[in-house]
Structure 1
Amino acid sequence: MRLAKTGALQRPDQRAGLSRAAQLATLAFLSAGLAACTTPARKVDAKLPAAYEAASATPLATQALDQWWIQFGDPVLNELVTTALAQSPDARLAAARLEEARAIRQGQVRQIFIPQTPLVGSAQRTDTNISDQSGAGSFTQGGISKTYAADFDVSWELDLVGRRLAALRVVKNDMAAARFAYEGARAALAANVAQAYFEARGLAVQLEDARESVRIAKALADVAGERGRRGLTATSEGERAAADLAQAQAQVAALEAQLRASRRTLLILVGKGVDPLESLAITPSLAKPPAVPATAPSQLLARRPDVREAAARLASASGNLNISELALFPTLTLKPGIGISKAITPSFLDAGAETSTTSSAWTVGANLSIPVLNIPKLMSDIKASNARVEQAAITYEKTVQNAFGEADNALVQLAADERRVALLSAGERRAAVAYEASRKGYAAGLTDLTTALQAEQAWRAVRSAATGAQTQALQRAVQTYKALGGGWSPEAVPTKASAQ
């Protein structure tokens, strides 16, 4: 249906106007009623236990989760995480993706609310040459004709069934999902930097212990060699001590290479991959991990960016389903327009002269589109959208369950790591006392070399296990903070400047 009115046409009578108004009102009423029959947004009831199996008694502190790395009290770690979030390739890539999502959202919003307004201009020149003309009534005139025109036609769809609002909700949910993906990438980056840092510190401690073992093995080798030269013991003891010294030196070389590789990996993570290793100082010490604040599973849903991203994508899929359903309803589009044209033609009365005609026109029209033959395709689109909603709902349920599982497992394993560190630390102190007594006894000739070496090996084994347990406990604390949704602030919305 097209209703056209130009300045050169007469106005329709009042009865036709009332009839048309009644038709439009009836259409709006029916469309609003049909829109109420669309599928509501899919909601998922994620049932979780009231508490975790293992949790700290420390109450939840938002700041402790937003910037959890500060809780370790390590200025080097704070600087590394801050640098990584500002200039690492992963952080800049996440910011670029968020900026792309913002640009797409702005374009989609403009497309939803701003009418389609093409301004069309045209110019034409026609050169006519009369080669033959016969007949008494022929008035064809040759020469050059010029035509200029400009048209400004607007297309504006009346939002009778809520298509525009449904599309806007989809755009907002897509933008929210992009923002949560950005925050998740930054939270993962902070956790990776902290874990790599603690791994490097653990290797530094092991390297320092290995160098101490070399010093001890050299002292034992010197004592064994001197006793062999004096004939107090067999020379084989000296050879055995020398073999142990070589093994300890080989362990030092291996740990030095591992520490260099770990430091380089850490520099790459923070965006300084080409800097010299000397620019990254690693202290050979391991501190006790801080107490992780306790959270409830319900708080987890509000903290973890991946859970919130999955929820936003579910809402977006539900919105797309509504848009697919609304495509079955009629579409009423207003099409006002204005145009101006100018034609220059050769004059019939005066050879060589030109006749110029300028005209303007305005139109007010409306198009009504009712899907009829494409209903099967639209129904297929609805089924596909419904399947995508189901996929998004299942993904959300899986994300929630994985989030709870990661947090619960991290808390349980962190508690076990803390107990393991305490037991190994106490065992290491006892093994150190036993080794020192055995070493002094061997130097005084009261014990043999085998007893001294066995005491040393026991001490070194417990000490290495304690160092590994301390490193793992620190990394587990980082993993727990990440599992609880730490590393970002749900209240802070990143701007363009902060994203870069």
Structure 2
Amino acid sequence: MRRLAPLLLAAPPALAGALAGCTLPGPRAAAPASSAVVPPPAWRTALPAGGPVRVDWWRAFGDPALIALIERALAGNVDLQIAAARVEEARAAEALARAQLLPQVGGTVPETQGQTLSPFGTPSRAVGAQPGVTASYDLDLFGRLRLAGAAARAQLLASEGARDTVRLATAASVATGYITLRALDQRLAIARATLAARADAQRIARRRFESGYSSRLEYRQAQAEYSATAQLVPAAQLAISRLENALSQLTGDAPGTIPRGLPLDRLLAPPVPDGLPADLLRRRPDLFQAEQTLVAADWSLDSQRAAMLPNLALTGSAGLVLSTALSDPVGVFSLGASILAPIFDGGRLRAQERAATARRDQAAFAYRRAALQAFREVDDALAAVRRTGEQAAALADQTAAARGALQNASNRYRAGYSAYIEQLDAQRSLLNAELSLVQARTDGLASLVALYQAMGGGWSEADVRTVAR
């Protein structure tokens, strides 16, 4: 048995170690050479392979409504049901491939009729039947059928990996959508609070204009700012409605309202340990799917090569001859063997072998691409978690400062020490800072979801303890 790393030629140490338990049969033609997959040097590979996968990673956010929503999606998502049906189809194909290894037995009861003449010339009718049993068995001397069965088994595992990929993507999409929904709710609350403050500012500007303490310009500015804030409310409501409909579709339900739980600023942000082990990538179902697809292509190539060799099949039959013309039944049987070998087929088998080799090479490159994509997604998610946290901290300080500046500008404007433009600028700065802070928090939580997805379901406490050591 041959390990997967030599097939992929210059596989990286982290990837080769992570896939050390995956084996392929027999010597193969080498896949085309390509550049090596090099993981980031900061990643560790200390953990043993085969750790448990966290299938309920979304509970780490601590929101019962989010947990219930994801469980509804995993039970009713249409794409997940289609993927499950494809697994059943692959399971049936594997059973069909296994059945080819067993003898084929059948029974027949043909009825025959005929006429005979008696010695005195009086015609008589004889009715007879010949029930029997037939059997055939392919000895599969060179493993053609066994290799085809192994390929079907690998395809079944690949379809299960595809199903798990859809499951993980569904949970991640629902989690990201729910976080975005809570962010839109908070944006709507900010817009309404700001609109109420702008309404007060508009009333004050109107009284000052009517009393002659300010110009019409300040009053018009207050009106324009109130209208600019008012348009934020229906825009947020429209985005909420569309997102609720999208989440309903993910859960397999008709469009409707999505239950809410914790507000955005109360959702937990689980800590991310430094130096997550690269072995966690082995838990990614899409990587497992690509690996099993490669295994299936390799078995299929062997099966196609075995089809070029002679094949030995045994056939036999046994039965009785029953007839009104016979006093006793007559037993009959036959046993035979056949050897079939291709002599001239116009290059058909050779062309099929080349096509199987090309499919194997495609699967090898697809596996390498999946590994590269896995490394990139993890690195992007880790960078996003770190940078969005820094951005959110800076925006929180900016929001606090803008809120204080607005208080000072409002007091100065009401006391007549400054023009309305100062208060207007402070209001705009506070609104932009609050909306940016909501977006940064949303991006941070969404990057955590992306990290869980990139890690194939996150990490366990044992993983964190191992990294800490």
Q: Return the TM-score normalized by structure 2.
A: 0.84
Residue 215 of structure 1: how far off its partner (Å): 0.6
* Alignment partners' CA distance in 2, 1:61 and 1:446: 70
Residue 440 of structure 1: how far off its partner (Å): 2.1
Aligned residues: 431
Seen in structure 2, the aligned counterparts of structure 1 residues 139 and 321 have a Cα distance that, compared at 3 Å, is farther
Seen in structure 2, the aligned counterparts of structure 1 residues 76 and 64 have a Cα distance that, compared at 3 Å, is farther
Residue 58 of structure 2 is aligned to residue 69 of structure 1: yes
* Alignment partners' CA distance in 1, 2:49 and 2:148: 38
Whether the 8 Å CA contact 1:341–1:359 is kept in 2: the answer is: yes
Letter in 1 for 2:423: A
- 1:203 is matched with 184
Letter in 2 for 1:194: A
Q: 1:267-304 CA distances to partner (integer Å, 9 max, x unpaired)?
A: 22112224x41x5226543335322355333431x111
Residue 107 of structure 2 is aligned to residue 124 of structure 1: no
Task: Give the percent of matched residue pairs that are identical in Structure 1 and Structure 2.
Answer: 27
Residue 89 of structure 1: how far off its partner (Å): 1.7
* Alignment partners' CA distance in 2, 1:140 and 1:414: 104
- 1:321 is matched with 301
* Alignment partners' CA distance in 2, 1:433 and 1:202: 24
Residue 443 of structure 2 is aligned to residue 455 of structure 1: no
Seen in structure 2, the aligned counterparts of structure 1 residues 392 and 360 have a Cα distance that, compared at 3 Å, is same
- 2:316 is matched with 336
- 2:5 is matched with none
* Alignment partners' CA distance in 2, 1:368 and 1:394: 39
Whether the 8 Å CA contact 2:65–2:259 is kept in 1: the answer is: no
State how 1:43-442 maps to structure 2 within 5 Å.
Answer: 48-49=37-38, 51=40, 65-112=54-101, 114-126=102-114, 142-274=123-255, 276-277=256-257, 280-281=259-260, 283-286=262-265, 287=267, 289-293=269-273, 294-300=275-281, 302-345=282-325, 358-374=329-345, 376-442=347-413
Letter in 2 for 1:234: S
Secondary structure of 1:154's aligned partner: strand
Seen in structure 2, the aligned counterparts of structure 1 residues 154 and 280 have a Cα distance that, compared at 3 Å, is same
* Alignment partners' CA distance in 1, 2:335 and 2:276: 62
* Alignment partners' CA distance in 1, 2:382 and 2:172: 16
Q: 1:4-44 CA distances to partner (integer Å, 9 max, x unpaired)?
A: xxxxxxxxxxxxxxxxxxxxxxxxxxxxxxxxx97538689
Seen in structure 2, the aligned counterparts of structure 1 residues 42 and 386 have a Cα distance that, compared at 3 Å, is same
* Alignment partners' CA distance in 2, 1:441 and 1:238: 17
Letter in 1 for 2:225: D
Whether the 8 Å CA contact 2:161–2:288 is kept in 1: the answer is: yes
Residue 186 of structure 1: how far off its partner (Å): 0.2
* Alignment partners' CA distance in 2, 1:320 and 1:64: 31
Letter in 1 for 2:369: K
Residue 446 of structure 1: how far off its partner (Å): 2.1
Secondary structure of 2:212's aligned partner: coil
Secondary structure of 1:155's aligned partner: strand
Residue 451 of structure 1: how far off its partner (Å): 0.6
Residue 459 of structure 2 is aligned to residue 471 of structure 1: no
Whether the 8 Å CA contact 2:39–2:375 is kept in 1: the answer is: no
Whether the 8 Å CA contact 1:177–1:310 is kept in 2: the answer is: yes
Letter in 1 for 2:361: E
* Alignment partners' CA distance in 1, 2:417 and 2:125: 124
* Alignment partners' CA distance in 1, 2:410 and 2:43: 43
Seen in structure 2, the aligned counterparts of structure 1 residues 451 and 38 have a Cα distance that, compared at 3 Å, is closer
Secondary structure of 1:485's aligned partner: coil
- 1:25 is matched with none
Seen in structure 2, the aligned counterparts of structure 1 residues 358 and 224 have a Cα distance that, compared at 3 Å, is same
Secondary structure of 1:292's aligned partner: coil
Q: 1:372-431 CA distances to partner (integer Å, 9 max, x unpaired)?
A: 123732222211111111111111111111111111122122211111111111111111
Secondary structure of 2:348's aligned partner: helix
- 1:16 is matched with none
Secondary structure of 2:270's aligned partner: coil
Whether the 8 Å CA contact 2:385–2:444 is kept in 1: the answer is: yes
Letter in 1 for 2:248: L
RCO higher in structure (CA 8 A, sep ≥6): 1
Seen in structure 2, the aligned counterparts of structure 1 residues 240 and 120 have a Cα distance that, compared at 3 Å, is same
Residue 107 of structure 1: how far off its partner (Å): 2.5
Seen in structure 2, the aligned counterparts of structure 1 residues 363 and 231 have a Cα distance that, compared at 3 Å, is same
Across the aligned residues of Structure 1 and Structure 2, the Cα RMSD in angstroms comes to 3.1
Letter in 1 for 2:61: F
Select the structure of larger CA radius of gyration.
Answer: 1
* Alignment partners' CA distance in 2, 1:465 and 1:192: 22
Letter in 2 for 1:419: E
Letter in 1 for 2:89: E
* Alignment partners' CA distance in 2, 1:144 and 1:256: 90
Residue 168 of structure 1: how far off its partner (Å): 2.6
Residue 450 of structure 1: how far off its partner (Å): 0.6
Q: Return the TM-score normalized by structure 1.
A: 0.79
Moved more, 427-436 or 141-150: 141-150
* Alignment partners' CA distance in 2, 1:406 and 1:140: 94
Moved more, 237-246 or 199-208: 237-246
Letter in 1 for 2:107: L
Secondary structure of 2:131's aligned partner: strand
Unaligned runs of 5+ in 2: 1-24, 461-469
Whether the 8 Å CA contact 2:62–2:268 is kept in 1: the answer is: no
Secondary structure of 1:118's aligned partner: strand
Seen in structure 2, the aligned counterparts of structure 1 residues 322 and 477 have a Cα distance that, compared at 3 Å, is same
